[in-house]
Structure 1
Amino acid sequence: MLKKLIFSTGAMSLLVPTLAFAADDKTPAQLAAAIDSVWVMLGAILVIFMQAGFALLEAGSTRMKNAGHVAGKTILTFGLCAIAFWAVGFGLAFGDGNAFVGTGGFFLDGTAEQTAASISVFAGSPIPISILFLFQLAFAGVSLAIAWGGFAERGKLPVYFIFGILFTVLIYPVVAHWVWGGGWLGALGMQDFAGSTVVHLQGATAALVATILLKPRIGKYNKDKTPNLIPGHNQVLSVLGVIILWIGWFGFNAGSTLSATGDGFFGYVALTTNLAAAAGAVAALVVSWMYFGKADIPSMLNGVLAALVAITAACAFVTPRDAIIIGAISGIITFFTAQWFEKMGVDDPIYAFSVHGIAGIWGTLSTGIFATPQLAESVGVGGAGLLYGGGFHQLGIQALGVFGAFLFVLVLSFIILGILKATIGLRVTEEEEIIGLDLSEHGTYGYPEQMKKAVQAGTTSA
């Protein structure tokens, strides 16, 4: 054990040189705590950096006239999320309370006294509560970023303020508490290692509600209800966004081990995560090629993300072989559900519900199928899946968790967004949508030179 700690200290000193100088004055336990703290902080940074991936992906997947707005609101909404989660959301999610919600730990002050008094789920951790907060904030920010996919190219800016705060304090932390904060789903043994349900399904469900209430973008559907393709303006930005998200996911999943010492389990989680993503990319590209007769790049990108979403729940519970199966199935089902939703009249510009919702459901259920008894015992959550001798017990718990989370977010999102629609309205005017949200909401275009040429040429769909 001491040799492992010395080796880990040397490696981490490349990132944090002061660790090397302080090593002589530390006990093995203190060294382990320092290394784990740096690892979780690095995980938080990687997950927060995923916001850059979302900004590039969404901007590239939408039209030029909305690119600045789509990218810029990422900063706004993460700022709102950070303040609201610090004040209320973190306490509701992880504070001591009951099986449904936390009731302490609000307005986090970062002290050990507050942690011991009201956040016992983290009270025994050697990692400072401030770092654990930043890590959990990053997850809440990702869930909110997913929700905004349903608003793309037609949502009013004030709605981002109001719904962003309410999602962070009334919706996200409740389900997080159920699974991770000592709530009823965690007590049942629900396996959601890094948030296929807690993070991705929640955000995707809110996005679905927004998509339904906002209705399709102008020009998306013909009078006979057949859909028109509204391509994004820059596939290169979308590809770069997905690469950033793929890298950030190592903080998402491997960082959720909350430890870089001991048996190095974070490396195993990174392995299953990467294999699933690779399988999702290949499977989605191949199936799009067979379906369209051409290899579709956006479908491949969605396949990567869907596989990452699915393996997020299962990464610590399944074998590498099964991770590949989970990832490949994710890429395939996401492709076909995206086509189905579009034909049904659901205009989801970045396919948020297919990528994060359907894949999140599949990923959460997959642990009930593929979880091995050895890994479930090692993690200390739930039991073996259907194919490894566990019968339908774990699968039933997973299905209950999916249904409970989906129903809760669906109902609250409909209530909140329904009230907003009836009062201030959710959608910009037709004129504002046609000229683009860059100009109508912010007074300038993200691409001023190019858009000036488009306007002069009489083109408004750029």
Structure 2
Amino acid sequence: MKKFMSFSLLALAASVATVGFTKSASAEVSIETAFIFNTFSFAFHGALVMWMAAGFAMLEAGLVRTKNTTMQLTKNVSLYSIAGLMYWVIGYNLMYADVSGFFGVPGPWSAADPFDAEGAFTGDDAAGYGAASDWFFQMVFVATAASIVSGTLAERIKLLPFLIFTVVLTGILYPIQGSWSWGGGWLSEAGFLDFAGSTIVHSVGGWAALTGAIILGARKGKYGADGSINPMPGSNLPLAALGTFILWMGWFGFNGGSQLAMGSAADVVAIATIYMNTNLAAAAGVVIALILTGIMYKKVDLTMLLNGALGGLVAITAEPLAPSPFLSIIIGGIGGALVVFAVPLLDKLKIDDVVGAISVHLVAGIWGTIAVVFSNGDATIGGQLTGIVGVAVFMIITSAILWFILKLIFGLRPSEEDEALGLDRAENGMEAYPEFGRGSQTF
């Protein structure tokens, strides 16, 4: 069933809202009123998710070295814009228009009713929301998947091949796999459940990032010939912390908006519950990372705490409504723990993930998708694993083919000289912190 049609049309037609100060006092909400609140929910929560683009930009800018900061900001501004255009040109219809098993009908999106409201005004609206608000809410999710790839491959990929990959990811790959579940395709029929996208959004970005990291290789000097791992600390931890808090806030839109309706008291209660569980999971991810890094390294690692929060958020995303508060804490805490263990494991495997995005979005995303079976009675382990494996196979194969084609045509990596100089100067011709640049005349 389509993500944006997961709520009952009957509930939209006869929504119930609490009035006055007693629980027994209730009245039917008009179709027009439900239309207004549902549209507002899509628009407001979509704006929160859009704000996550700023969070990713700040997080990545803080976790890369000074000489690559401008490039990360360039990529994040560009990928959000590309996602917005591609999802209009082809992506939305590929994901939702007449899906028959594997994908929909490609082509530019348009609302059947240009004003999105005529039915609501006449009392017979069948959709229950402004179509453009739904398009906007779905679009901002696409940019999130591309941001994951940006962080992992930071500091050693050229801008042009990355942006071409983004075009294909946001316009074709993400919508196709999304149609399998949220679009009512074969994964939906197989019983796969993913409320807000632990797999459909986060693992998709994670698989694309992992495939790219393996093909691209590590940054020069990251791993020694003797197996040693050379830390390359980020340039601005306050900026990284700010980015994490922005992402945390945006996640309330990510998960809360995925209730897909706000036209009844029941919907509002569900959204409030989702907010609570989302926050509890993130907090648990931080606390577990705090404890584990203190034990393992004898010092608390701030970057692990930041990614612990994100790991908890990704984990709860697959089902933020059904779990109890205690179970939400457990799910988020395990997500944070997995990040702490996955980051050094990837380094041992010599897979260079600059910001820890694979550990956060892929590893915690897989865990969160499996964890749905602990709270949602409609979920089965078979259905969840089918979704995880199906998306993984599709993303690994298509991403690898695309990365190899881009490598053959354009080359993925800058020259060793440009990488040593920094992509800010080599590709952007400007520096994020010119006062500290080489040859600066500022005193």
Which residues of 2 match residues 53-64 of structure 1 at below 5 A? 53-64=55-66
Which residue does 1:424 correspond to in 2? 410
Which residue does 2:352 correspond to in 1? 347
Give the letter aligned to residue 95 of structure 1. Answer: A
Which residue does 1:35 correspond to in 2? 37
Unaligned segments of structure 2, at least 5 residues: 1-14, 22-27, 117-124
Give the letter aligned to residue 41 of structure 2. Answer: W
Separation in structure 2 between the aligned mates of residue 400 and residue 275 of structure 1, nearest angstrom:
28
Asked if 1 retains the 8 angstrom alpha-carbon contact of 2:90 and 2:172, the reply is no
Which residue does 2:283 correspond to in 1? 278
Structure 1 position 3, deviation (Å):
5.0
Asked if 2 retains the 8 angstrom alpha-carbon contact of 1:220 and 1:229, the reply is yes
The percent of aligned pairs where both chains have the same amino acid is 37
Query: Which stretch has the larger CA shift, 210-219 or 49-58?
Result: 210-219
Which residue does 1:310 correspond to in 2? 315
Query: Which stretch has the larger CA shift, 29-38 or 228-237?
Result: 29-38
**Coordinate RMSD, CA, aligned:** 2.1
Give the letter aligned to residue 110 of structure 1. Answer: A
Separation in structure 2 between the aligned mates of residue 27 and residue 302 of structure 1, nearest angstrom:
42
Given the alignment, which residue of 121, 127, 134 partners 1:125? 127
Give the letter aligned to residue 244 of structure 1. Answer: I
Aligned length: 412
Unaligned segments of structure 1, at least 5 residues: 8-25, 116-122, 374-382, 385-393, 457-462
Structure 1 position 38, deviation (Å):
0.9
Structure 1 position 28, deviation (Å):
2.2
Which residue does 1:441 correspond to in 2? 427
Shift of the 222–454 alpha-carbon distance from structure 1 to 2, 3 Å rule, reads: farther
Which residue does 2:6 correspond to in 1? none
Which residue does 2:111 correspond to in 1? 110
Which residue does 2:121 correspond to in 1? none
Higher-RCO chain (CA-CA 8 Å, sequence separation at least 6): 2
Separation in structure 1 between the aligned mates of residue 431 and residue 69 of structure 2, nearest angstrom:
8
Secondary structure in structure 2 of the residue aligned to 1:446: coil
Which residue does 2:18 correspond to in 1? 4
Asked if 2 retains the 8 angstrom alpha-carbon contact of 1:82 and 1:137, the reply is yes
Asked if 2 retains the 8 angstrom alpha-carbon contact of 1:272 and 1:323, the reply is yes
Secondary structure in structure 2 of the residue aligned to 1:300: helix
Return the structure number with greater helix share.
Answer: 1
Structure 1 position 357, deviation (Å):
0.2
Which residue does 1:388 correspond to in 2? none
Secondary structure in structure 2 of the residue aligned to 1:223: coil
Which residue does 2:72 correspond to in 1? 70
Give the letter aligned to residue 272 of structure 2. Answer: G
Structure 1 position 32, deviation (Å):
1.6
Shift of the 245–5 alpha-carbon distance from structure 1 to 2, 3 Å rule, reads: farther
Which residues of 2 match residues 251-400 of structure 1 at below 5 A? 251-262=253-264, 263=266, 264=268, 265-368=270-373, 370-373=374-377, 383=378, 394-400=380-386
Query: Which stretch has the larger CA shift, 422-431 or 409-418?
Result: 422-431
Secondary structure in structure 2 of the residue aligned to 1:314: coil
Give the TM-score of the pair, scaled to structure 2. Answer: 0.89
Asked if 1 retains the 8 angstrom alpha-carbon contact of 2:318 and 2:368, the reply is yes
Shift of the 71–113 alpha-carbon distance from structure 1 to 2, 3 Å rule, reads: closer
Give CA deviations for 1:80-100 in whole Å, capped at 9, x if unaligned: 111111011111111113111
Give the letter aligned to residue 177 of structure 1. Answer: S
Structure 1 position 352, deviation (Å):
1.4
Asked if 1 retains the 8 angstrom alpha-carbon contact of 2:35 and 2:130, the reply is no
Give CA deviations for 1:324-344 in whole Å, capped at 9, x if unaligned: 000111111111011111011
Asked if 2 retains the 8 angstrom alpha-carbon contact of 1:5 and 1:28, the reply is no
Asked if 1 retains the 8 angstrom alpha-carbon contact of 2:54 and 2:246, the reply is yes
Separation in structure 2 between the aligned mates of residue 419 and residue 40 of structure 1, nearest angstrom:
37
Structure 1 position 453, deviation (Å):
5.8
Separation in structure 2 between the aligned mates of residue 114 and residue 407 of structure 1, nearest angstrom:
40
Asked if 2 retains the 8 angstrom alpha-carbon contact of 1:77 and 1:160, the reply is no
Separation in structure 2 between the aligned mates of residue 302 and residue 74 of structure 1, nearest angstrom:
19
Secondary structure in structure 2 of the residue aligned to 1:347: coil
Which residue does 2:11 correspond to in 1? none
Give the letter aligned to residue 220 of structure 2. Answer: I
Asked if 2 retains the 8 angstrom alpha-carbon contact of 1:308 and 1:327, the reply is yes
Structure 1 position 171, deviation (Å):
1.0
Asked if 1 retains the 8 angstrom alpha-carbon contact of 2:94 and 2:104, the reply is yes
Give the letter aligned to residue 302 of structure 1. Answer: N
Secondary structure in structure 2 of the residue aligned to 1:227: coil
Give CA deviations for 1:337-386 in whole Å, capped at 9, x if unaligned: 11111011111101111110000000000012x1243xxxxxxxxx15xx
